[in-house]
Amino acid sequence: MANKTTDVFICGVGGQGILLASEILSDVALAKGLDIKKSEVHGMAQRGGSVVSHVRYGEAIYSPVITEGQADILASFEKMEALRWIQFVKPGGKVIVNSQEILPSGMETYPPTIDRKIRERVPDAMFVDALTLAKEAGHLRAVNIVMLGAFSNFLKFTEDEWKAAIEARVPKKTIEINLEAFELGRAAVSG
């Protein structure tokens, strides 16, 4: 029997909590006894530059890097980053995009055709207003946990397993906000 690997490609810009989301995903998989490998690229992250995290888990994982056309899920915390990395999702894979637009340094306006270009590549791409949901949960910095909730619908872990990993990773004073953000993200996208 072939080794089933699940590949999740998470992208966005610095300061959006991509690395925390990938750590929580890794914790959930590890708690289930799965082999996990993770690779991250922090391109000028502190200045709003592109950040990507490759998370691969399964029975036996030999490389932490997801190749183009291999990701089961592409979770983008920013729209332009979704378009930049969309070639990594496999045919039939899921694309979940935060509808937030963060204007890159040096650009005066945000390109108006991003949504259309994403849908040309993946017609059933799902858009989530994660910033509004994070504010509803209690803090705009919970965008990453909203997105984690959204893409958790497509991974074979229970809601309780996710919540335990979130509680173990976030500061104690923010647990309630983060759990609410997770639930709002799960409700925003149906599996």
- Angstrom distance (rounded) from CA 75 to CA 103: 19
Place of tokens 């888990």: 57
Query: If pLDDT is split at 50, 70 and 90, which confidence band does 2 have?
Result: low
pLDDT value for 13: 87
pLDDT tens digits for range 89-115: 999 999 999 998 887 766 778 888 999
Residue 176 located in a structural domain: yes
Domain membership flag for residue 1: no
Q: How many domains does the chain have?
A: 1
Residue 181 has a pLDDT of 98
**What average pLDDT is seen over the chain?**
92
- Does residue 159 belong to any structural domain of this protein? yes
| Residue 174, domain member (yes or no) | yes
What does the alpha-carbon distance between residue 134 and residue 174 come to, in Å, rounded to a whole number?
12
What tens digit of pLDDT does each residue of 43-57 get?
Answer: 654 556 788 999 999
List residues bridging with 74 in a β-sheet.
Answer: 9, 95
Q: CA-CA distance, 80 to 50, in Å (whole number)?
A: 10
179 inside domain: yes
> Within a domain: residue 53?
yes
pTM of the model: 0.93
113-167 pLDDT, tens digit per residue, is 999 999 999 999 999 999 999 999 999 999 999 999 999 999 999 999 999 999 9
Max Cα distance, the chain (Å)? 53
183 domain residue, yes or no: yes
| Residue 137 included in any domain | yes
15 class by beta-carbon count within 10 Å (0-12 exposed, 13-18 middle, 19+ buried): middle
- Domain span at residue 117? 6-188
Residue 106 maps to which CATH number?
A: 3.40.920.10
